[in-house]
Structure 1
Amino acid sequence: MDIGILSLILIAVLFGFLFSGLWVGFALMAVGFVAMELASSAPAGLVFARRVWGAMNSWDLTALPMFIWMGELLFRSRISSDMFSGLAPFTRRLPGRLLHVNVFGCALFAAVSGSSAATTATVGKMSLPELQRRGYDPRMAIGTLAGSGTFGFLIPPSIIMIVYGAATEQSIARLFLAGILPGVTLAVMFSSYVMLWAWMNKDRMPEPEPKPTWGERFEALTLLLPTVVLIVTVIGSIYGGFASPTEAAVVGVFGALAISFFSGGLSRESFVTSLKGSAITSCMIALILAGASFLTVAMGYTGIPRTLAAWIGEQGFSQFALLAVLLVFFIILGCFIDGISMVVLTTSVILPMVLAAGIDPIWFGVFLVLVVEMSQITPPVGFNLFVIQSITGRGIFEIALYALPFFLILVLATALLAAFPEIALWLPSTMMNN
């Protein structure tokens, strides 16, 4: 069968299943079976069984439920109120003042969570009521939270980086390292925009609060200390060579249990709820990964990835041209599909094209995560928008409008990453090669 016709049939089948409401994992498996039946005489059932078992029988994947559970535990602790109280004294003198709490608070929680939705919900449930009570512009308060909540996907330990690493067989430790500098850069860009906005809109800012005393600052540091210690322990144990990402995830769970217990947020009910929540999320991701793994093999039988990669090579596209096309493609796709599904759905076809263009797969993982972050704040299925809607009661499109400046900053960040790839590659090449 002609490759072009086969591609159109598989795309139609995929979107037909997705729009019918079938779970993403099952939809990917179904498309894989259709591809095998149309393009190969190999036994689809046997290939499916072997591939799914091989994909799930991965030691690296055991880090996934551990990091998810760590985020669930911290979500139910007092960490959000402690972070707000701890960061507030250090942001009062900055232009934009407490609006920076959303940016810095999300960056801190992302470093112990790995989930964009958990980051947004944890920081937002404390910061938005406080910012509203103190008279801050609600549009800017919501916008900073929506944009900064996406840090959960970029700043390690990132759940979506684990998914990408498992789907593409890349080093998770290298991916974690590659996400650090882009994450810091993005936080600085968001914070700079907040300062610029505050400077240009002084009439929309509340009256300045009293300058914090040294005693208040010291007390604030003690509130931030548990979070900082957990970050250093989890991330430091990986790059210090003391633990693998999976072992570090277990250490993080014990740290999260300790923080939840001593902060008074850990009860039998919250413990069981966090365990159930992490199990549900982990099973959902595992099902998607299983379907994507089988689809990857099925696509190999069809020859579509090889044909696309060869076509890209023949066209002579520059790396920047290819990335620009992929950026637009992923932004459109992100309006309709959640981030994790988008990653596992596209890697089997996109990665051969990327490798054929000479693009580093670790760098591309960071690029892809940045684009997935955009999908978190684009309607109609941007998950961060739903989280903020549950907190504020405002409409999805209204929240998306408030988040638009941060969406544009994310686009700018991808351009910077493409222009200066060492932003992502310097740390992995320095630390992992020594």
Structure 2
Amino acid sequence: MSAVDAVFKIIPTIQDYDWGKVGEASKVAQLAAASKVPGFTLNAETPYAELWMGTHPKSSSVLQSDASTTLAKHLAAHPELMGEQVTAKFEGDGTKEGNLPFLFKVLSIQKALSIQTHPDKQKAGILHKEKPDIYKDPNHKPEMALALTPFKAMCGFLPLEKIVHHLLTTPEFTALVPPKLMTSFMVSINNPERAKSYLKDLFATIMTLPESTYGPQLTALVARYKAGDLKAGELRDVVELVLKLDEDFPGDIGIWCAFLLNYLTLEKGEAIFLGAGEPHAYVYGDIMECMANSDNVIRAGLTPKLRDIPNLVDGLTYVPGPGTKHAVQPTAFSSPSRLYDPPIPEFSVVMTALGAGEADTHRVVNGPSIAIVTEGAAAVSWGSGELQVSVGDVFFVGSGLELSVKASDQLVLFRAFVEA
């Protein structure tokens, strides 16, 4: 393959799930429209939720030069684009068939996503074997969310003392917990091993309550919050979250997770990482998301989709702590690009922000990359090749290339890559 063929544009796919931002408000729709994705017509009433960039069999990207050829098929035919080391390292995940180890996305979130977790590889293999119609691949799905706009998310179990605070200040929540469990939970705070067990008991108790039990208490709670009637010690951010979740999913049992999970607001450029077994739910905003190449989700609330509460309860880590423990702190990749490097081998993400006329050089990456322009325009060059890119353009970068980026307009570019 020639050097020019080592970098080329690809066409992403669009998912219009119910929770997406509607019409032009969606970053997904804005990017699809700007890049003139073939066949895409922006509908003012359609919720545009996700833009997928990668080789996942559910919705693989295709080559812009030949829309009949999927990216996976092209990479399988030209393994040098993947790189020998990456192919060898991730062979069990199908790299020889052209499957990238990661899936890159843009998400535009209007309604909260489900209370969910993702299985580890062992559990994913079991679930795929038992329920292949639901869990459609045997891979795990650690993921990172990087904010494009102010982004709100529920993420990991709260520190135990904060859960106790909610139990002591919110009578409707307290009414759902059996007195014996309440006592055991509070006594166990200073005993981490026991606390983990009781946290599991508390979560399982709440998430398996019949509607006849939790419904009246939830109705009373929401009515009280809407009336502005707060008890001493109740927190405004929890009130905001409860009312948002009830607006999105009225009467849903998942609303009680507002008293159990951290509630974070990320500003543009901030990121969080979620490993296997971490409960979470994205609530609002626009993000870049990168994950291992899987679509496995175990859900338990805030969704019209299948709820698999037993597997979710069994698969969580039950490690409490502040939401900041999930933060990914960027480091220098080049000047001024920043590297977001979570503690897993499948992916890292680089963010490049340049003013008009500014330039940056990305070092050689010994593995494949996918990049997207979210703002502005640039000339991307390597060896003797050059590619003009602008807002919405998605392009693939083969292994082993040094990449130069020169902005012709205020530029923001995100690049996901893997290297062995």
Which has the bigger relative contact order, CA under 8 A and spacing at least 6? 1
| TM-score > 0.5, shorter chain as reference | no
Q: TM-score, normalised by structure 2?
A: 0.27
Give the structure with the higher percent strand.
Answer: 2
Q: TM-score, normalised by structure 1?
A: 0.26
